[in-house]
Amino acid sequence: MVTPWRLVLAVSLALLSASVARAEESIKIVLNAEPRSLEPCQSTASDVSRVLAQNIVESLTEISTKDGSIQPRLAVSWQQINPTTWRFKLREGVKFQNGKPFTAADVVYTLDRMPLAPLNCLTRQKMFGDAQLTSRAIDPTTVEVVTSKPLPILPTMMSVVYVVPEGTDNAAPSRAPVGTGAFKFVSWKPGESIVLERANTYWGPKPQFDKATYIWRAESALRAAMVETAEADIAQSIALQDATTEGMDFAYQNAETTRIRLDLQTPPLSDIRVRKALNLAIDKEALKDLVGREVTESAQYVVSAINGFNPNLKPFPYDPKEAKRLLDEARKDGVPVDAKLTLMTRDSYFSNAKEVAEAMMSMWAAVGLKLELKVVDPVTFYSFLNKPFQDGRRLLLTHMHDNNMGDAIFTQLFLYTPEGIASTITDKPLGELINKASAMQGPERTAALQEAFRRIHDDMVADVFMFHMVGYSRVSKRLNWTPDLSTNNMIEIGKVKLRS
């Protein structure tokens, strides 16, 4: 006979074991901000891609974080037919999470919806510039893509084109996407959480987790503490001073670079002497105490591994005396140097972003500039970053950009051409150079991209150039997973494992 207390103990242990089992089948990731949408066409924005990319939706190709090579995903092979025509052979036996088979018609539909205005398709605006794409299904597993000009790296570009099923609503950016990925969308409670569940339709290896929950907290210390106390499994981004727990905190090289984008059209920022002074007044060595000693000073908006990086460009030195001289000279010539400028940043944008902005304001004040600081939420920030701009006159905008796609064209097209969605530049010769470079190959392409960066840095001084960044994440000890080059943009849950 089983005594009551033994029965109670047995039931309690059974419930505890079940609870532990359930916990091990779920993963919780705490982000620094709520996504603006879950629209696949906006997946070049990191706040969107962190949840979406290669989890809910998948691309035709993907870039290896180990060596930068182009790898198959939904496409198993590709062939260039002529300078403006490519054919992609698609993976067979793939289904969307709604049960619909994946075919070439879905790829055509995905490409055709990119120019539609209601979607505000950042992928189209950032990656393809003035190139037009026409696609057709040759058969259910073959897609032909014809471009209006040669795009020799089109397979690389396809790594950020995330496929949706034919018939997906195009009236507005999606908040409940359907894709071919290992996890299906379940719910989004605004201001609270996003929940995904493992998709039984997935064609690839079965993930260890059957549920993924995303939450967001603005404070770095809180995100780190949530992993420490097992309230979350991964804090995707934490500040330098919070990355102090051995065995849980990781510093990793990423492809992020920071800058201050300048309003080039409005005085005093339209005067190159003022832009030079803004750079010379910044003591970047001192700022490393806030962002991390592992960062390196930048003179261009890509890291050294990217094609088009110009090794001849040197960061501006710290020279406040010369900064004051330039400002005095501009002031004597009638430039309104004493007009109040606005520095805008996002809290938790990167390690100690607000504190960095405050330090830079002090350095600029020391050479005689007047500034006010605005710390804004992501939605407000992007309304100033991307066209049509809100009133950004006399605006200095903190910006961080990730290019891990192997080529500088993915930076220059949308940030430095007159038609670029996040560009304040109106210089037509620069835009023509960048657009021509997008159709070039080999050493000629590299040289053109390098020349564009030279003009941006030396001739225009278009930015206040800051750092090539390092990321910090906290990871639960129950996980066998290490952050890598892609972590700031996405965490592919299917690759996260439990420790045995």
Per-residue confidence (pLDDT) for residue 120, from 0 to 100: 87
Average pLDDT over the chain, rounded to an integer: 93
Taking only the tens place, the pLDDT of each residue in 186-195 is: 999 999 999 9
Taking only the tens place, the pLDDT of each residue in 424-442 is: 999 999 999 999 999 999 9
Phi-psi map region of 86: left, alpha, beta (phi>0 left; psi -120 to 50 alpha): beta
Per-residue confidence (pLDDT) for residue 12, from 0 to 100: 52
Taking only the tens place, the pLDDT of each residue in 60-74 is: 999 988 778 899 999
Per-residue confidence (pLDDT) for residue 14, from 0 to 100: 52
Instruction: Write down how long the chain is.
Output: 500
Per-residue confidence (pLDDT) for residue 6, from 0 to 100: 54
Nearest to 129 by CA among 139, 114, 113, 110: 114
pLDDT > 80? residue 24: no
Q: How many Å apart are CA 277 and CA 363, to the nearest integer?
A: 11
Q: Please spell the DSSP secondary structure of 65-114, one letter per residue.
A: TTT--EEESSEEEEEEEETTEEEEEEPSS-B-TTSPBP-HHHHHHHHHHT
Q: How many Å apart are CA 141 and CA 163, to the nearest integer?
A: 14
What is the pLDDT confidence band of residue 392, given thresholds at 50, 70 and 90?
A: low
* pTM for this predicted structure: 0.86
What is the pLDDT confidence band of residue 393, given thresholds at 50, 70 and 90?
A: confident
Q: Where do the DSSP E strands lie in 85-223?
A: 85-90, 133-139, 142-147, 183-189, 193-198, 211-216
Contacting residues for 251 by C-beta, under 8 A, at least 6 apart: 243, 292, 294, 470, 471, 472
Q: How many Å apart are CA 487 and CA 253, to the nearest integer?
A: 10
Share of the chain above pLDDT 70, in %: 95
Per-residue confidence (pLDDT) for residue 253, from 0 to 100: 81
Contacting residues for 27 by C-beta, under 8 A, at least 6 apart: 209, 211, 212, 213, 233, 234, 479, 493, 496
Q: How many Å apart are CA 403 and CA 256, to the nearest integer?
A: 7
What are 472's two structure tokens?
A: 């910090």
Q: How many Å apart are CA 425 and CA 384, to the nearest integer?
A: 15
Taking only the tens place, the pLDDT of each residue in 152-166 is: 999 999 999 999 999
Superfamily of domain 253-471: Dipeptide-binding Protein; Domain 3 (3.10.105.10)
Q: Are 42 and 61 in contact (CB under 8 A)?
A: no
Nearest to 43 by CA among 64, 61, 58: 58
| Least confident window among 122-126, 169-173, 198-202 | 122-126
Q: How many Å apart are CA 81 and CA 87, to the nearest integer?
A: 7
Residue whose structure tokens are 């500040």: 239
Contacting residues for 159 by C-beta, under 8 A, at least 6 apart: 59, 60, 61, 62, 63, 70, 73, 405
Q: What number is the average pLDDT over the span 477-482?
A: 96
For domain 26-246+476-498, give the fold: D-Maltodextrin-Binding Protein; domain 2 (3.40.190)
* Single-letter code of the amino acid located at 179: G
What is the pLDDT confidence band of residue 317, given thresholds at 50, 70 and 90?
A: very high
pLDDT > 90? residue 185: yes
Per-residue confidence (pLDDT) for residue 2, from 0 to 100: 45
Q: What number is the average pLDDT over the span 239-243?
A: 93
Q: Please spell the DSSP secondary structure of 413-444, one letter per residue.
A: HHHHSTT-TT-----HHHHHHHHHHTT--HHH
Q: How many CB atoms lie under 10 A from the CB of residue 225?
A: 18
For 284, counting Cβ atoms within 10 Å of its Cβ (0-12 exposed, 13-18 middle, 19+ buried), the class is buried
The residues facing 402 across adjacent strands are 256
pLDDT > 70? residue 23: no
Per-residue confidence (pLDDT) for residue 18, from 0 to 100: 47
Q: How many Å apart are CA 251 and CA 294, to the nearest integer?
A: 9
For 186, the 3-state DSSP assignment is strand
Residue whose structure tokens are 């892609």: 486
Q: How many Å apart are CA 495 and CA 207, to the nearest integer?
A: 7
What are 377's two structure tokens?
A: 């939420």
Domain boundaries along the sequence of the chain: 26-246+476-498, 253-471
